[in-house]
Structure 1
């Protein structure tokens, strides 16, 4: 928990930018979402944080670019590790909802399969909820 007046570390800042980007973009609030996305991307590049660079790339492809299924799947592959599985689960679920809302049912099914894959890895204990 971050208390008012306490300094925020780089990872917490990246998490905030990512979460705010995801929230606004998934709500179709693209101006706000892109603002936080750009801040997060700049910070992740400066910090050379591969996890948050990967997370932001999924958001970029899904919400700001073409939402091409193969590009989304490719970007999710970068999260196939113990730190990435919980994020993969969340992002694949967001992608499934996005495709479903846009009548792209085949892509939605592929994303739900990815959600189930990530959940299976998490249940096996192959993940860490730390950032």
Structure 2
């Protein structure tokens, strides 16, 4: 789910279910992601960044339920929706392509600390994954 308009919808959550054989299965913890476009960002780069976030979520055993994309002309609308959604939906993990996506709001480390204190969610950077696919470096 990509969010760049005024609303968002969810899919998935963290819960326990029973399979047909009666065994308990725990679903992955839900996570939201935030990224901001920059002036010269093409749609292909946005797509690759979303794929990196999905890959990071998968490697971290998280379910990426929504991606909030900040448009240049509407800043900080997506961030405000992102913050509200994390609080309202009690999301415990949020992902960023890198902490630099918080830079437009102020010092990335200070914004990270503020966001974690305000929401109770842990902020993770997808840069923690060294490679995205064999032979392809993460930028």
TM-score by length of 2: 0.33
Q: Which has the larger radius of gyration?
A: 2
Task: Tell me which protein shows more strand as a share of its residues.
Answer: 2
Higher helix share: 1
